[in-house]
Amino acid sequence: MRRLSVLLCALFLVATAVPAAADPSPDPVPGERPPLGITWATGSPYCVYQYSEDVVKAAVDQLVASGLRDAGYEYVMLGDCWQAAQRDAEGRLTARASFPSGVPALVDYVHSRGLKIGFYSGTGAKTCSGQAAGSLDHEDLDAQTFAAWGADYLRYDTCYSVNGDAPARVKKMADALKGTGRPITLEVDDYDRNQSPWLWARAAGAQVWRTYTNSTFNFGYSAGSLDRQYGLAGYTGPGGWNMPGSFTFSYLDTAERQAKLGLWAVLNAPLVTDMALAADVTLPVAELNNPDIIAVDRDWAGVGGHKVRDTGWTEVWTKPMSDGSAVLVLFNRGELAAPISTSVADAGLPAAPGYRVRDLWTGDETETTGALGGTVGRHAATVLRVWPVSAAAAPRTSLTVELPDSVPPSQPVTATVRFTNTGSTPVTGAHLQLTAPAEWQFDGAAEATTPAVEPGATWAFPVTLHPVSTATQPFKMPVSVAYATAQGTRTTTASAEAPLLLAPDQPSTNGLLNTQPWISTENGLGPVERDSTDNGHPLTINGKTDTHGGLGAHAPSVVRYYLGGKCRQFTATVGVDDRGPDGTLGFRVLGDGVELEATGNMRHGDAAQHLVVPVTGVQVLALAVDDASDGSACDWGDWLSPYISC
């Protein structure tokens, strides 16, 4: 605690050396642009995260000193539990004891630093926490109170709405705020009722609405929120913005932060950092203060960002920009680096002799004739802005490696490195350097050189490795190519990665696969479960269970079994689990990477399908659940009675 106090004190001393800005004027049109700022305790149901007047002031000073205020992060939004549980004798909201100077003094402090302030309330008599007063039957009084204080923003939860009356309650507060004459942006926080506020919040008078009920503090929940945004692009735009969730950065590494910010920017989402945790008192300025990302977020060309490609673990999202350019996000949600293919066609750009490309995280500028793919690391994203104009820049290149889906730990592995010149001028003197994974060594040379790679050409280099002993770690082979262009020398890197096939003894007799060991699993949300799904819930399809149990998966998912060529047939009954009433997914059975059977897309309520799949000679059986290319939210799929005949 002493350490935190010292840090806050230090931040205060540094920040107070910065000249104070003039009081900001309220937005003439609330919600004209997606808001940027900070908050506390987003979605905390029990006021677990306590914050005080001093904490808020220290964060305010940090916004100023860091340059984030000048970059556009202008809102300081108090979370639930800033207010006391009871109103005062006149029925007005009052602050908790942790705000000893009072609300007017805090508002003045925030405004004096050139920032805007937001408060929190709810449609019920209590807020979501159950420990603070809400605004039910006090809407006019609370709106007048907020306006008198100088509020600029109100976060409004719907936890205690009943019988579908949330739109009416929100409209009552929106009308009350409008009646004060002070422009105050209204955000609808629908945490636990799943009331689809994007369908009605704008009409009710709100300017921001949450499109994901959970907090998005870690990568898994952030990816889950992204899945919920599929199909919502038409609900966002000036005057009203989809809010997929705030940022709690201590749970994310640098690559994950950059991926999330890039995706949120393409969605025109509010960029709001949650500072509730002690580990989050220091803002991640390096990521937040990226002018290219902020420019994407606040640019509105009439169409929201949307997904154009989905292979399960990799996705491509795009957004048109008002100057005729477009942004592409190559997103890898998987646990291993992966190649992602895309082009200017995915961005909807017109035909042109050449295209200028800017990597928004590295600042690197290149030119291409159309192709834009490459290798993207785990939990990472490449964010590109592309203009349909020729540029005097180095040609864009891509470096990828073709590998088997899984690597046996005791057998040789052959990979093919591909270095492609997608620009309009040649590259020369390309030198390839390979680094062997731990426990592996090359059968031949680990480097090679080619004189030139012409525009549109690919240099392919096969390489074979064998394990020094039985490998025990996933296969990860770093690759780099250094080359020369008319603009100077450059280097591109990639990583060839594949899961290690740690094969147990293959089944020697008939049996249920949910009772036998697997080689490896990948799952969209949580682990693959035996005989249950979603943290222990029974496997149920259309109200029916199976006494033999099965595997509970969440798209995108793959479960691999080693058969060793000893089995004849696989059978299972598959369908969308009742845990996912909005689920849409498909099941596939693969043998040694070749698709043997597929159900096509299935929805919740569809009849279960019974699969009978010959597997004679198959070494590795893979059971895959795909997300039907519409995001994986609610996509729980069941493999009931997965039986192997050997």
- The more confident residue out of 16 and 341 is 341
pTM of the predicted model over 0.75:
yes
DSSP 391-453: -SSEEPEEEEEE--SSB-TTS-EEEEEEEEE-SSS-EEEEEEEE-PPTTEEESS-SEEEEEEE
pLDDT on residue 26: 60
Q: Compute the distance between CA of residue 147 and CA of residue 84 in angstroms, rounded to an integer.
A: 19
Residues facing residue 39 across a β-bridge: 77, 274
Nearest to 315 by CA among 381, 243, 225, 261: 381
Q: What is the pLDDT of residue 444?
A: 92
pLDDT at position 12, please?
35
pLDDT above 70 (res 78): yes
> What is residue 538's predicted lDDT score, i.e. its pLDDT?
94
With a cut of 60, say whether residue 20 has pLDDT above it: no
Kindly state the tokens that stand for 512.
Answer: 């249920």
User: Given a cut of 60, is residue 22 above it in pLDDT?
Assistant: no
Three-class SS state of 176: helix
Looking at 12-16, 502-506, 509-513, 611-615, which range is the least confident one?
A: 12-16
What's the CATH superfamily of 36-298? Aldolase class I (3.20.20.70)
What is the pLDDT, as a whole number, of residue 502? 65
Distance CA 189, CA 203 (A): 16
CA nearest to 169, candidates 136, 199, 209, 145: 136
Q: Of 114-118, 278-282, 502-506, 582-586, give the range with the top mean pLDDT.
A: 114-118
Tell me what the mean pLDDT of segment 481-506 comes to.
Answer: 87
C-alpha span between 502 and 470 (Å, rounded)? 10
Q: Is 176 left (phi over 0), alpha (psi -120 to 50) or beta?
A: alpha
User: Stretch 213-226: mean pLDDT, rounded?
Assistant: 82
Please check the confidence at residue 10 and state whether its pLDDT lies above 50: no
DSSP characters for 18-37?
SPPPPPPPPPSSTTSS--EE
Under the banding of pLDDT at 50, 70 and 90, the label for residue 5 is very low
The alpha carbon of residue 379 and the mean position of all alpha carbons in its chain are separated, in whole angstroms, by 9
pLDDT score recorded for residue 508: 55
Distances (CA, A) of 632 to 226, 388, 533, 557: 9, 33, 15, 10
Number of helices (H) and strands (E) in the chain: give both, helices first. Answer: 11, 36
pLDDT in tens, 616-625: 999 889 999 9
DSSP state of 255: H
What is the pLDDT confidence band of residue 42, given thresholds at 50, 70 and 90?
low
Judging by DSSP bridges, how do beta strands 153-157 and 185-189 pair with one another?
parallel
Q: Look up the CATH superfamily of 511-645.
A: NPCBM/NEW2 domain (2.60.120.1060)
pLDDT of the residue at 310: 84
- Range(s) of the chain covered by CATH 2.60.40.10: 400-502
Q: What is the DSSP string of 548-574?
A: T-EEEEESSEEEEEE-TT---EEEEEE
Of the listed ranges 19-23, 179-183, 508-512, the one predicted with least confidence: 19-23
Quickly tell me which residue has 């697997």 as its tokens. Answer: 518
Residue 166 one-letter amino acid: A
> 356, 389 in Cβ contact below 8 A?
yes
483, 490 contact by CB (below 8 A): yes
- Residue 504 confidence (pLDDT) above 60: no
On whether the CB atoms of residues 549 and 530 are closer than 8 A, the answer is yes
Please determine, for residue 21, whether its predicted confidence score (pLDDT) is greater than 80: no
Mean pLDDT, rounded, for 565-586: 94
CB within 8 Å of 1: residues ≥ 6 apart? none
Question: Highest mean pLDDT: which of 188-192, 214-218, 552-556?
Answer: 552-556
Q: Evaluate if residue 18 carries a pLDDT over 90.
A: no
Per the CB < 8 A criterion, the answer to whether 155 and 168 are in contact is no
pLDDT digits (tens, 9 = 90+) for 437-481: 989 999 999 999 999 999 999 999 999 999 998 888 889 999 999
Q: Do 67 and 289 form a contact (C-beta atoms < 8 A)?
A: yes
Q: What is the number of other CB atoms lying within 10 angstroms of the CB of residue 292? A: 17
Q: Which one-letter DSSP state was computed for residue 377?
A: -
From the candidate CATH numbers 2.60.40.10, 3.40.50.2000, 3.90.1150.10, 2.60.120.20, the one assigned to the domain spanning 400-502: 2.60.40.10
Most confident of 125-129, 130-134, 509-513, 568-572: 568-572
Supply the pLDDT for residue 359.
98
User: CA angle, 51 as apex, 47 and 54 as ends, to 5°?
Assistant: 165
Mean of per-residue pLDDT scores for the chain? 90
Q: What is the DSSP letter of 268?
A: T
DSSP 276-345: -SGGGSS--HHHHT-HHHHHHHH---SS--EEEEE-SSEEEEEEE-TTS-EEEEEEE-SSS-EEE--BTT
- In the chain, % of residues over pLDDT 90: 71
Max CA separation in the chain (angstroms):
84
Backbone φ/ψ region at 460: left (φ over 0), alpha (ψ -120 to 50), beta: beta
H/E stretch holding 68 reads helix 68-71
Average pLDDT over residues 488-506: 83
* C-alpha neighbours within 13 Å on the C-beta side of residue 24: 23
Q: Is residue 399 very low, low, confident or very high in pLDDT (cuts 50, 70, 90)? A: very high
**Sequence-ordered list of residues with C-beta below 8 angstroms from that of 437, at least 6 positions apart, any chain:** 465, 471, 473, 475, 476, 477
Burial of 298 (0-12, 13-18, 19+ CB in 10 A): middle
> Is 80 exceeded by the pLDDT of residue 486?
yes
The whole-number average pLDDT for the span 158-176 is 94
Name the most confidently modeled range: 150-159, 208-217, 220-229.
150-159
- Angle between helical axes of 139-149 and 166-179 (0-180°, round to 10): 40
Q: Is 533 helix (H, G, I), strand (E, B) or coil?
A: strand
Cβ distance 83 to 92 under 8 Å?
no
Residue 56 has pLDDT above 90, yes or no: yes
Task: Give the pLDDT confidence score for residue 14 in this predicted structure.
Answer: 33
Q: Which residues pair with 480 in a beta bridge?
A: 433, 493
What pLDDT score was predicted for residue 419?
98
**631: pLDDT strictly greater than 90:** no
Mean pLDDT value across residues 16-38: 66
Which tops the pLDDT comparison, 426 or 507? 426
Polymer length in residues for the chain: 646
Q: Using omega within 30 degrees of 0 as the cis cutoff, is the peptide bond preceding 291 cis?
A: no
pLDDT digits over 234-283, tens only? 999 999 999 998 888 888 999 999 999 999 999 999 999 988 776 678 89
User: How confident is the model over 326-333, as a mean pLDDT?
Assistant: 96
Give the SS3 label for residue 189: strand
Distances (CA, A) of 517 to 146, 304, 641: 60, 45, 15
Q: Residues with Cβ < 8 Å from 568, sequence gap 6 or more?
A: 614, 615, 616, 645, 646
What is the rounded distance in angstroms from the CA atom of residue 114 to the CA atom of residue 67?
Answer: 12
